[in-house]
Structure 1
Amino acid sequence: MIFRQIVHEDLGCASYLVGDEGAGVAAVVDPKLDVEEYLALARYMGVRIAHVLETHNHADHVSGHGRLAAATGATIHVHRDAAPDYEHEPFDDGWELELGSVRVRALHTPGHRPEHTAFALVETARGPEPWAVLTGDTLFVGDVARPDLAIEKEDGARAMFRSLHGTLLTLPDSCEVWPGHLGGSLCGGPGMDMKVSSTIAYERAHNPLLSERDEDRFVALATGTLAPQPPNFRAIVERNRGPLTHAVPAVVALTPHALEQAVAGGALVVDVRTDREFDEAHVPGAVCNPAVRAGFGTKLAWVAERGRELVLVGRDEDDARRAAQLAAAVGIVSVAGVLAGGMTSWRHERRPTASLRRIDVATLHAELDGMQVLDVRERADWEAGHVPGALHTAYHDLGELPAGLDPARPVATICASGQRSAIAASLLARLGVAEPVHVADGGVGTWRDHGWPLETFPAPTPSR
């Protein structure tokens, strides 16, 4: 039997190559947009990719099913309720696909989306019981999927509860759990683990949401800590449901002069280098979004206005082109170009640069009396504990200057680690703040670890 997990590290998406080497046939489950890795694996193992299986219409990344089908002639299979606008073979609950001695069995598990289906894997040469289940976006390691990206969140959570307890948790304890996402994906919650797999028994014993057997309490837990819905998820779903696409748009290399012309025409410059490099020197007006850290595409979707052209700036041209591929994976194809030669070419021509002041948490504490502090984490995090006096606006909501901030005074942006605060500081510069200050190499947790006081919201009532 052939079984390989392939992970898109930026998005935390997992896909799978499953097949039988003896029979020379394989299937890919939930392919990512960049399909070359599947083709290389198939060549290496001497199998033909004859089938593409989708667990559902994905909302967080663009599927590679069209490109893979064009490259291999494979048949695409998806649950009947998905109703896509492309040639496919629909299946229903209980459908089975034979790949030599490997049998793939469809387990309809609605909740994340109505069409969602998990796939149980049976190796018939060894026994009739499933040895693994590809749980897609229903059960993760340490968590369950969010229920609010297709239907009303409570309806989704109730369907999820029944899919978990009525289907997945009836599988053998020894059955391995291979999810569609790892920790950090927007399709799950804060409990998602970075481990690549688990077992039914382990999840039953240690996954907090699975221990809740009351449906109403499960619904309250599953819907109580949902992160904001990503801005482009509906567009990604429609693209994945729509006619098959086979090509990724070409990205043009722009000279510094052409970049200036693109900006004059309304394009947004996104700097994909590290935040330290950005703080030292960047194209004036650029937004910082490092592509060297996971979540680049997800964060880009928040700061990129739909329909507005983007120009990507990296350390060199290849750096920016890799970022363009990550952008395409989340449906952002409005990249007008990349800076030829990277930031080096801009500085070589002695073009103007801007910089941001970069401080650590200890410096923020020492200078707090002279600083305005903007906490750019999610609101629930800010309410649980923030630097005294800090205002709150999540980084992805900085479309205008937050109320209460004086743009003429220094504003220090802070998050949990220094990543979101880097984006936020660059956005404040675009909004006219005279001295944005990037709190880097730590955040609110670092403040807490030093023993310095935190405020909560609502503020506790003073005792009398």
Structure 2
Amino acid sequence: MDVVVIETPQLGDRSYLVHDGSVALVIDPQRDIDRVEAAAREAGVRITHVAETHLHNDYVTGGLVLAQQHGAEYLVNAADQVSFARAPVMDGDTFSVGRLSVRVVATPGHTHTHLAYVVRDETHDGGAEAVFSGGSLLYGSVGRTDLVTPNDTAALAHAQYSSVRRLVSSASPDAALYPTHGFGSFCSIGPASHQDASTLGEQATSNHALTDPSEDHFVAELLANITAYPAYYAHMSPLNAAGPAAADLDVPESVEPSELARRLHDGEWVVDLRHRVAFAEDHLEGSVAFEYGNGSNFTSYLGWVIPWEQPLTLLGSHEEVHTAIRDLARIGIESPDAAVGPATDGRSTGSQGSRGEEPGRPGGDRSEGPGTSWVGAMAPGVRRRSYPHGDWSLLRQERSAEDVVLDVRRPDEFLASHVEGALNVPVYELLHRIPELPAERIWVHCATGYRASVAASLLDRAGRDVVLIDARFRDAAGAGIELAR
């Protein structure tokens, strides 16, 4: 038995190609199935089965299309209400994939109808086993239980406690564990570990879901650790139940400059993919910053912040736009338009504002001039904007008494430690809460600078006087910033 791991770090998920050297089972495939198909070609195997552990809440599946294109059995829980033909499976069912034997194990908790799959190779490797646990047993933790309805959260947490115990008893302690979630996904909850591999036996001695002798204590702890999750999650399960079509991953023709100008003028969402400093120094009025790459949570935060099913235009290099379209397709954002610029963004290396702006002073409108970035050519006639940016020393040196410090981290992060006197509005709530903020200049920060850059662009779009603190929160105290708990 060979297991090929197909990672999607942008969403903190993994898909799996499990094969015997001839035929393969695919578990929880992402929507961009070309990655799975490439893995199958490299392994020299034919895909005969595609299985879902659950109707996913954090991404749109590629399972149906993959199964249809390869004439494979599409295994989905018989209890799930879906609008497409599938091979219904339930607890205790077994089937063969070549020389591999697969057993279905009901593991309710992450959802009511969640399944896990125990795969065994009877003829090789001494009967090696692998357990594909989806959003049930994760490395160090379990999948969150609040994604169905608030009324079901506690009951599903109790079910999760029982399910992981049943799953551990369903295979040998040496069985390799392969979860779908838990690698940065918002679907995990509790003290998840950062390990890349594990076994059932290892989890039995280290995972709090298995070591806590009190079910009530485990449930109480799980519920206490629940934090917010992306708003787009509400749309994922219905899309998956309806049977998603194939994704269109092509980069469209670049929109005409006059059309981009119209979209900005009409308040449509134009997302600038460049580095947050390049955006702060020079951007089109009305655009917003969602820096692409560098390990960012671009997909999750764009889907969380921008209202669902709004017209969307991506502004960036061809490579950035191409990969961003793939990422957004995974969460059901279909075929966004694009304004495609050159491969580089001409970002300056200054630590403050560009073009001689005084550090800490408001940015404002920008005029054309030598050394400015290429974005102006994308929509001639659209005013350009900028705002100051810097680290914690800039805040310490330039903040006025009436200025506001805005912390856009989650409430639990804020409660753990925050800048003395700061306001807390999570970035995913900011769009609708901007009118609540004081009229004074706003210094915005988060844990690393990414969420703050999104927030700063939203504030700038709303005409507010904003300064981006592009620094890690953990460095604030060392820079002389007073913190409170």
- TM-score normalised to structure 2 length: 0.87
Unaligned runs of 5+ in 2: 346-372
Which string of whole-angstrom CA distances, capped at 9 and with x for unpartnered residues, describes residues 329-369 of structure 1? 1111262x110325665334665321221111222233344
Match of 1:90 in 2: 88
Q: What's the CA shift for 1:317?
A: 2.6
4+ runs of 1 displaced by more than 6 Å? none
Question: 2:194 matched to 1:163?
Answer: no
8 Å Cα contact 1:266/1:308 also seen in 2: no
- The change in CA–CA distance for 1:249 and 1:4 in structure 2 (over 3 A counts) is closer
Q: What's the CA shift for 1:249?
A: 7.0
Question: 2:231 matched to 1:231?
Answer: yes
Once residues 192 and 271 of structure 1 are traced to their aligned partners in structure 2, the CA distance between those partners, rounded to angstroms, is: 33
Match of 1:13 in 2: 13
More divergent stretch after superposition (160-169 vs 417-426): 160-169
Once residues 208 and 452 of structure 1 are traced to their aligned partners in structure 2, the CA distance between those partners, rounded to angstroms, is: 36
Once residues 296 and 130 of structure 2 are traced to their aligned partners in structure 1, the CA distance between those partners, rounded to angstroms, is: 27
Which string of whole-angstrom CA distances, capped at 9 and with x for unpartnered residues, describes residues 17-41 of structure 1? 01111xx211110011111122122
Match of 1:319 in 2: 320
- The change in CA–CA distance for 1:374 and 1:145 in structure 2 (over 3 A counts) is same
The percent identity for this pair of structures is: 30
8 Å Cα contact 2:427/2:455 also seen in 1: yes
Match of 2:458 in 1: 427
Once residues 78 and 100 of structure 1 are traced to their aligned partners in structure 2, the CA distance between those partners, rounded to angstroms, is: 20
8 Å Cα contact 2:31/2:247 also seen in 1: no
More divergent stretch after superposition (284-293 vs 12-21): 284-293
- The change in CA–CA distance for 1:47 and 1:334 in structure 2 (over 3 A counts) is closer
Match of 1:309 in 2: 311
Kindly report which structure 2 residues correspond to 1:8-407, keeping only aligned pairs within 5 A, or say none.
Answer: 8-21=8-21, 24-126=22-124, 131-151=129-149, 152-168=152-168, 171-189=171-189, 191-248=191-248, 251-292=252-293, 293-314=295-316, 316-333=317-334, 335=336, 337-341=337-341, 346-348=375-377, 351=381, 352-370=383-401, 371-402=403-434, 405-407=437-439
8 Å Cα contact 1:209/1:222 also seen in 2: no
Once residues 348 and 244 of structure 1 are traced to their aligned partners in structure 2, the CA distance between those partners, rounded to angstroms, is: 37
8 Å Cα contact 1:400/1:431 also seen in 2: no
Q: What SS does the corresponding residue of 1:107 show, helix, strand or coil?
A: strand
Once residues 130 and 105 of structure 1 are traced to their aligned partners in structure 2, the CA distance between those partners, rounded to angstroms, is: 14
- The change in CA–CA distance for 1:402 and 1:210 in structure 2 (over 3 A counts) is farther
AA of the residue aligned to 1:67: V
Question: 2:472 matched to 1:413?
Answer: no
- The change in CA–CA distance for 1:171 and 1:294 in structure 2 (over 3 A counts) is farther
8 Å Cα contact 2:434/2:459 also seen in 1: no
- The change in CA–CA distance for 1:244 and 1:73 in structure 2 (over 3 A counts) is farther
Once residues 233 and 403 of structure 1 are traced to their aligned partners in structure 2, the CA distance between those partners, rounded to angstroms, is: 26
Which string of whole-angstrom CA distances, capped at 9 and with x for unpartnered residues, describes residues 194-251 of structure 1? 4332122222222234321211111111111212132122211111111341242764
8 Å Cα contact 2:270/2:315 also seen in 1: yes
Which string of whole-angstrom CA distances, capped at 9 and with x for unpartnered residues, describes residues 117-155 of structure 1? 111121111478662211110111122110011142101
AA of the residue aligned to 1:384: A
AA of the residue aligned to 1:2: D
- The change in CA–CA distance for 1:226 and 1:169 in structure 2 (over 3 A counts) is farther
Once residues 235 and 374 of structure 1 are traced to their aligned partners in structure 2, the CA distance between those partners, rounded to angstroms, is: 30
User: RMSD of aligned C-alpha atoms?
Assistant: 2.1
- The change in CA–CA distance for 1:174 and 1:48 in structure 2 (over 3 A counts) is same
Q: What's the CA shift for 1:295?
A: 1.8
Once residues 129 and 453 of structure 1 are traced to their aligned partners in structure 2, the CA distance between those partners, rounded to angstroms, is: 59
AA of the residue aligned to 1:419: Y
Once residues 69 and 242 of structure 2 are traced to their aligned partners in structure 1, the CA distance between those partners, rounded to angstroms, is: 19
